[in-house]
Amino acid sequence: MRGGASAGHPRWGSAGTTPRSLSTGSSPRGSEPASEDGEELVEVTLDLQDDDTIVLRSVEPAAAAALGSGSGALRLPVPARGELGDCGASSSSSRSPSMRRTSSYRLLQLSQELMAGARHFSHDLTRRFSRSHSHSRDEAHQQPSSGIESALAARAARRQRAQLDRTRSGAHRALRGLRFISSNKASNAWREVQANFDRLARDGYLSRSDFAECIGMTESKEFAVELFDTLSRRRQMKLDTISKEELREIWQQITDNSFDSRLQIFFDMVDKNADGRIGEAEVKEIIMLSASANKLSRLKEQAEEYAALIMEELDPEELGYIELWQLETLLLQKDTYVNYSQALSYTSQALSQNLALRKKGSIRKIGNSLIYYLEDNWKRLWVLALWIGIMAGLFTWKFIQYRERYVFKVMGYCVTTAKGAAETLKLNMAIILLPVCRNTITWLRNTRAARVLPFDDNINFHKTIAAAIVVGVILHAGNHLVCDFPRLIRSSEEMYAPLGIYFGETKPTYLALIKGVEGVTGIIMVVCMIIAFTLATRWFRRSLVKLPKPFDKLTGFNAFWYSHHLFAIVYVALIVHGQFLYLIRVWYRKSTWMYLAVPVCLYLGERILRFFRSGSYAVRLLKVAIYPGNVLTLQMTKPATFRYKSGQYMFVQCPAVSPFEWHPFSITSAPGDEYLSIHVRQLGDWTRELKRVFSAACEPPVSGKSGLLRADETTKKTLPKLLIDGPYGSPAQDYGKYDVLLLVGLGIGATPFISILKDLLNNIIKMEEEEDTSTDLYPPIGRNKPHVDLGTLMRVTTRPRKVLKTTNAYFYWVTREQGSFDWFKGVMNEIADMDQRNIIEMHNYLTSVYEEGDARSALITMLQALNHAKNGVDVVSGTKVRTHFARPNWKKVLAKIASKHPYAKIGVFYCGAPVLAQELAKLCHEFNGKCTTKFEFHKEYF
């Protein structure tokens, strides 16, 4: 049988695995240290072996036993089910796990004999205990037994002071803690667990290795296996397989609503030898297990240090162990340690202060939603309306024009539709260049045009125009190829005769029309557009489409970059195509070049400017660092003429990787810094090659430093050359016009906001210094005070003072990898040190760690709070900023900010995946309709 129970070997037996313990005190009232006649009483713990022999386990004074337990009565471990009969409850002890009484005749008889003879040998055992106990304490601790007694007394007193408040709120808080199965899975998940059992079980039994998958802990298999072993120890199960009935019992235990039950299971996971005490080695083991389940590799490396920290906090008496009540105290009272970067909470007070929660009618809701939508999108709407209106006007104008010409009698509405579409194509092929004239847009951002034009949506507008071009090409080329030309060829000689001045005296064939200049240039444009548009889609540009070699070169950013430069061929063919039109002979009616002249010249001017400017921006690399998570940091000198704002980005070229490609990266240094810095995440083919080039130029770190590859100006190896171009504008550069900032970055998306945080703090410090300087220039005025001369007064009052509108900033950084926090560790610590007025509130979120309350992260949560309270450092990020687990509740975040800053204008800036952008934009709309705070959402585009 595969793991089944065989004859003579009961599945729940203890056959030589774990000896059973009997513990009895010589006093029937275990709480009394001595009998009425003054005799010293002791507590004797015996091991009952399977061969009915008894082995002395320990002897302790009854006083010490009384401190650790409420009773000195007979205590037995959980008996084997089916072996000893039904069990009842018994007294618990800090010395051993909760036990049950048994009605077994053999054990009952033994206990009666022990109780009857206890008084007769208590004196002898006391003398023996005193000698052996004193000798062992002298060797191990070099202290008298009175020191142990005082330590035990101190711990007993501390236990009484640490009695937890079992109020309704406390119980509710406890129910949320130490969940082995997440709340959304535990409700109706037994059916799914049963289905998994039926799928994974063999011969009716589930193996230990499949337990994690069966209960839904696939991502933390080691933790699930340890949980299996713990519950096996509690039941004295010796086999590695369980039946469905046994799985049902285990499931009920780990999903039990009783907090005490879940706490006992967690305690037993740590208490490997089941003696009711947790030593430092056991704490270290559970730290490593929790770190492994949450993918915290660095926490595993420091497990020994953190285990010592927990023992120092929970075992001040230095007894070398902690008990269940101490673990419970740390778990439920961890919030007393957490006095830094508290997570925002969604309270009823927040709602009553600022959120209007009155019910509104459906008509009023629709009206308010429409008003808020118009307020947030009026710039986009009027530009789109103007653009669509112009296209509609051009289409209609050309449609009517050809409707009145003779050609309409031959080709019908095919020619009018084709010519109308052609007119819109001329317009769109001209204006599609404007959104990518980045220098022009950056300059316009600083003018009054920014009040009415949505410069933040330039790339989206570029994509929208491209979609309109696709529609125009289909209407124009499609009507010519499948409608115009066939009708012209099939027309009679009489009908064709008036068109001979355009197509020749002889009626052309279909192939002749295709082979003409108009046809060839049209086909060239269509083919180039299909290639460029296809490779620019998200599936190809982000390499989501996997093609076999050598076609895999058609995916990735490089393919997008080079294919997009086919536009040069498209514009040349378009100009030629516009000069050889079939139905137009007068030059001034050939208007294609008129549409293209200004935009093409503007774009060419920008490219020429970028070429010469990048050559003048000679930068020298100061520092290179390769961080975990495939992030490359480049720190370089700042050219004297390179002036930028926080939130802006620049283009970078590395000739060693590609002499043609320029890629945009956010500037992470502040304008006041003496250097430029960028952080490059390895996401595509160009960034992978860039990392490879710089990795070859880096040298190993000095001993004692982090395990990162580094290089600086003292490096003997020659660093690759780097060219920069910029800066270019982005939505985040206008952060100064908002009262409060909410900065949200996902992974590498935090880069544009690091510069903003540094710049904001630098500006605040500079303003405070200016205020202090102006105060020093004003001598004290008043009775018996010297008079202020006019020159000093004029010098102070005429000095321009910088007014900073932004008063607070909230930074939320969400990442999946612990190593990501190394990217900006120095910056975040610097901000935490300099921000004495608590202007900037920073929150780190690590999604690889299970949410607070999950048993897999419970010990990490306790350790995190304890370490920060004692050392001021977060154990996860290694910074002074607290790391929260799982993902933020954005509704709660916005609600708290809205209640804290009523009537404020809040700029919400986001850089990351589009999915969260939609959620944040929707929440901003909702809150704008509920509260007095005004949220404005902006997403970073490149």
pLDDT tens for each residue of 674-704: 889 999 888 777 888 888 888 877 776 665 5
How many CB atoms sit inside 10 A of residue 338's CB?
Answer: 16
Q: What residues have CB less than 8 Å from 485, skipping those under 6 apart? A: 510, 513
Give the range with max mean pLDDT: 65-79, 270-284, 643-657. 643-657
Tokens of 316: 């001040």
Secondary structure element (H or E) that encloses residue 481, with its range: none
At 17 the three-state DSSP class reads: coil
Q: What is the DSSP letter of 61?
A: E
- Can you point out the beta strands (E) in 729-834? 740-746, 808-815
Give Cα 807 distance to the centre of its chain: 26
**The model's pTM:** 0.69
The pLDDT of residue 177: 62
Burial 511-540 (b: 16+ CB within 10 A, else e): eebbeeebbebbebbbebbeebbebbeeeb
Of 567, 850, 825, 618, nearest to 723 by C-alpha is: 618
Between residues 730 and 601, the one the model is more confident about: 601
User: How far is CA 895 from each of CA 131, 745, 808, rounded to the nearest angstrom?
Assistant: 67, 19, 16
Are the C-beta atoms of 541 and 557 separated by less than 8 Å? yes
Of 100, 49, 105, nearest to 73 by C-alpha is: 100
Nearest-angstrom CA–CA distance, 743 and 814 = 11
Nearest-angstrom CA–CA distance, 694 and 632 = 9
Are the C-beta atoms of 429 and 453 separated by less than 8 Å? no
Of 502, 912, 909, 868, nearest to 740 by C-alpha is: 909
Give Cα 939 distance to the centre of its chain: 17
Rounded to 10 deg, the angle between the 244-254 and 221-235 helix axes is 100
Secondary structure element (H or E) that encloses residue 70, with its range: none
Secondary structure element (H or E) that encloses residue 59, with its range: strand 54-61
The pLDDT of residue 115: 47
On the CB side of 209, CA atoms within 13 Å amount to: 2
Phi/psi zone of residue 651: left (φ > 0), alpha (ψ -120 to 50 degrees), beta?
A: beta
pLDDT tens for each residue of 295-336: 787 787 778 888 888 888 777 878 888 887 777 776 665 555
pLDDT tens for each residue of 129-184: 444 444 444 444 444 456 777 877 777 777 766 554 444 444 444 445 667 776 54
Tokens of 543: 């390499």
User: How far is CA 676 from each of CA 105, 650, 884, rounded to the nearest angstrom?
Assistant: 83, 10, 31
- Answer yes or no: is pLDDT of 204 > 60: yes
User: How far is CA 706 from each of CA 501, 625, 701, 867, rounded to the nearest angstrom?
Assistant: 80, 11, 7, 21
| Burial tier of 679 (Cβ tally within 10 Å: 0-12, 13-18, 19+) | buried
**Tokens 């001034």 belong to which residue?**
588
pLDDT tens for each residue of 256-278: 777 777 778 878 877 777 777 88
The pLDDT of residue 598: 93
How many CB atoms sit inside 10 A of residue 233's CB?
Answer: 18
pLDDT tens for each residue of 824-869: 887 888 887 777 777 888 888 888 887 777 777 777 877 877 777 7
Nearest-angstrom CA–CA distance, 55 and 267 = 27
Give residue 775's pLDDT band: very low, low, confident or very high (50, 70, 90). Answer: low
The mean per-residue pLDDT over the stretch 342-354 comes to 39
pLDDT tens for each residue of 550-593: 777 778 777 888 889 899 999 999 999 988 888 877 777 888 89
Instruction: Find residue 650's DSSP bridge partners.
Output: 665
The amino acid occupying position 862 is: M
The pLDDT of residue 492: 86
Give residue 752's pLDDT band: very low, low, confident or very high (50, 70, 90). Answer: confident
Of 540, 422, 516, nearest to 478 by C-alpha is: 422
The mean per-residue pLDDT over the stretch 328-349 comes to 49
Nearest-angstrom CA–CA distance, 770 and 773 = 5
| Burial tier of 647 (Cβ tally within 10 Å: 0-12, 13-18, 19+) | buried
Are the C-beta atoms of 214 and 241 separated by less than 8 Å? no
**Pairing between strand 723-728 and 740-746?**
unpaired
Of 208, 185, 252, nearest to 200 by C-alpha is: 208
Look at 81-90, 531-540, 842-851 and tell me which has the smallest mean pLDDT: 81-90
Tokens of 437: 């004239």
The mean per-residue pLDDT over the stretch 785-813 comes to 62
- Answer yes or no: is pLDDT of 385 > 90: yes
What's the first-to-final CA gap in the chain, in angstroms? Answer: 64
The mean per-residue pLDDT over the stretch 422-427 comes to 94
**Tokens 């945009």 belong to which residue?**
664
User: How far is CA 323 from each of CA 78, 268, 331, 458, rounded to the nearest angstrom?
Assistant: 19, 11, 13, 63
Nearest-angstrom CA–CA distance, 179 and 885 = 15
Are the C-beta atoms of 553 and 540 separated by less than 8 Å? no
| Burial tier of 541 (Cβ tally within 10 Å: 0-12, 13-18, 19+) | buried
Query: What does 666-705 look like in DSSP terms, one character per residue?
Result: E--S-TTSSEEEEEEE--SHHHHHHHHHHHHH-BPPPTTS
Of 89, 47, 46, nearest to 71 by C-alpha is: 89
- Answer yes or no: is pLDDT of 528 > 90: yes
Nearest-angstrom CA–CA distance, 182 and 728 = 46
Look at 27-41, 177-191, 479-493, 762-776 and tell me which has the smallest mean pLDDT: 27-41
The mean per-residue pLDDT over the stretch 607-626 comes to 82
User: How far is CA 167 from each of CA 172, 174, 429, 764, 917, rounded to the nearest angstrom?
Assistant: 9, 10, 71, 45, 41
The pLDDT of residue 434: 93
Nearest-angstrom CA–CA distance, 162 and 589 = 92
| CA dihedral of 124, 128, 129, 134, whole degrees rounded to 10 | 140
Tokens of 719: 């660093």
Are the C-beta atoms of 744 and 659 separated by less than 8 Å? no
Give Cα 577 distance to the centre of its chain: 52
At 314 the three-state DSSP class reads: helix
- Answer yes or no: is pLDDT of 472 > 50: yes
The pLDDT of residue 74: 39
Q: Report the percent of the chain where pLDDT is more than 70.
A: 71
**Pairing between strand 42-48 and 709-712?**
unpaired
Burial 705-738 (b: 16+ CB within 10 A, else e): eeebbbbeeeeeeebeebbbbbbbbbbbbbbbeb
On the CB side of 573, CA atoms within 13 Å amount to: 18
- Answer yes or no: is pLDDT of 673 > 50: yes
Nearest-angstrom CA–CA distance, 227 and 233 = 10
Are the C-beta atoms of 470 and 533 separated by less than 8 Å? yes
The pLDDT of residue 586: 77
The pLDDT of residue 118: 45
Phi/psi zone of residue 647: left (φ > 0), alpha (ψ -120 to 50 degrees), beta?
A: left
